[in-house]
């Protein structure tokens, strides 16, 4: 009996030692991970979208690499996922459109959706990227409407669905409404029938009026945040696109 008691006490001490060791290791790992995230965020903040210099490009590449290292340890870290998505968006939008970088950005926004499907922001970014690519295609020299519809029609539909989802999740999200209106215009331009074009134009015009109303509420003192939506955040982050 005494021997069994000693074995039992030893087992308790061993389990306690392992728990303390694990707690200590996790604490160190968490501190290192947070430090790495902070370093990546500093690099991302220093990245200038319209600066093609080697130094600036190196900052962007290093920021992406550091965020990716975080994801190896913590695959669902949304700070790293969103950070990479944002950097690829900036790289793909200025000084000229880079479709491959924009599609890479969409992959990370979709990854965010897989983890947190009720967050409206990644749907907004996907819709905005789809509009950016479609708009670039519309302004290509000698663009033919039928060919444009084949090449960009599915992208426009994806963008519309994504922005509608963002607005569903956050009513009053006027940044999403703005790009949805623009995509309705693109959809109208490739529609084959007059009634369909008219219906899409009316939808776009209706969204324009809603955006005006929301902006007026933003300028009105004491307006509840729930009635404003996410528009202020969206427009702040998209200024470098224009």
pLDDT per residue over 168-191, tens digit each?
999 989 899 999 999 999 999 899
Residue 203, pLDDT above cutoff 80? yes
Task: Give the tens place of pLDDT for each residue, 213-229.
Answer: 888 888 876 655 545 45
> Nearest to residue 187, comparing CAs of 152, 211, 162?
152
Residue 8 has pLDDT above 90, yes or no: no
Q: How confident is the model over 51-95, as pLDDT tens digits?
A: 989 999 999 999 999 999 999 989 999 999 999 999 999 999 877
Give pLDDT, residue 140.
72
- Residue 10 pLDDT class (50, 70, 90 cuts): low
User: Which CATH number, 1.10.520, 3.40.1840, 1.25.40, 3.30.1560, labels domain 12-116?
Assistant: 1.25.40
| Alpha helix positions (H), the chain | 2-46, 54-73, 78-93, 99-115, 121-138, 145-169, 174-190, 194-218, 231-237
Q: Average pLDDT over the chain, rounded to whole?
A: 84
| Arithmetic mean of pLDDT, 146-165 | 95
**190 close to 156: Cβ distance less than 8 angstroms:** yes
Structural domain boundaries in the chain: 12-116, 118-242
CA dihedral 175, 90, 63, 103 (to 10 degrees): 90
């Amino acid at each position: 009996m005494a021997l069994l008691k000693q074995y039992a006490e030893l087992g308790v001490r061993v389990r306690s030692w392992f728990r303390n060791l694990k707690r200590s290791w996790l604490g160190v790992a968490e501190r290192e991970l947070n430090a790495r995230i902070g370093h990546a965020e500093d690099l991302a903040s220093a990245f200038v979208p319209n600066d093609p210099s080697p130094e600036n490009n190196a900052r962007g590449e290093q920021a992406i690499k550091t965020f990716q290292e975080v994801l190896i340890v913590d695959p669902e870290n949304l700070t790293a996922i969103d950070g990479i998505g944002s950097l690829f968006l900036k790289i793909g939008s200025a000084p000229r459109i880079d479709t491959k970088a924009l599609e890479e950005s969409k992959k990370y926004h979709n990854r965010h959706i897989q983890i947190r499907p009720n967050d409206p922001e990644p749907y907004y970014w996907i819709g905005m990227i789809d509009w950016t690519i479609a708009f670039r295609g519309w302004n290509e020299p000698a663009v033919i409407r039928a060919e444009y519809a084949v090449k960009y029609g599915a992208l426009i539909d994806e963008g519309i669905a994504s922005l509608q989802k963002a607005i569903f999740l956050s009513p009053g999200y006027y940044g999403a409404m703005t790009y949805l209106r623009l995509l309705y215009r693109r959809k109208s331009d490739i529609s084959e029938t007059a009634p369909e074009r008219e219906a899409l134009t009316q939808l776009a015009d209706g969204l324009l009026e809603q955006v005006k109303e929301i902006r007026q509420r933003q300028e009105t003192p004491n307006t509840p945040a729930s009635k404003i939506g996410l528009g202020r955040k969206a427009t702040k982050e998209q200024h470098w696109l224009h």
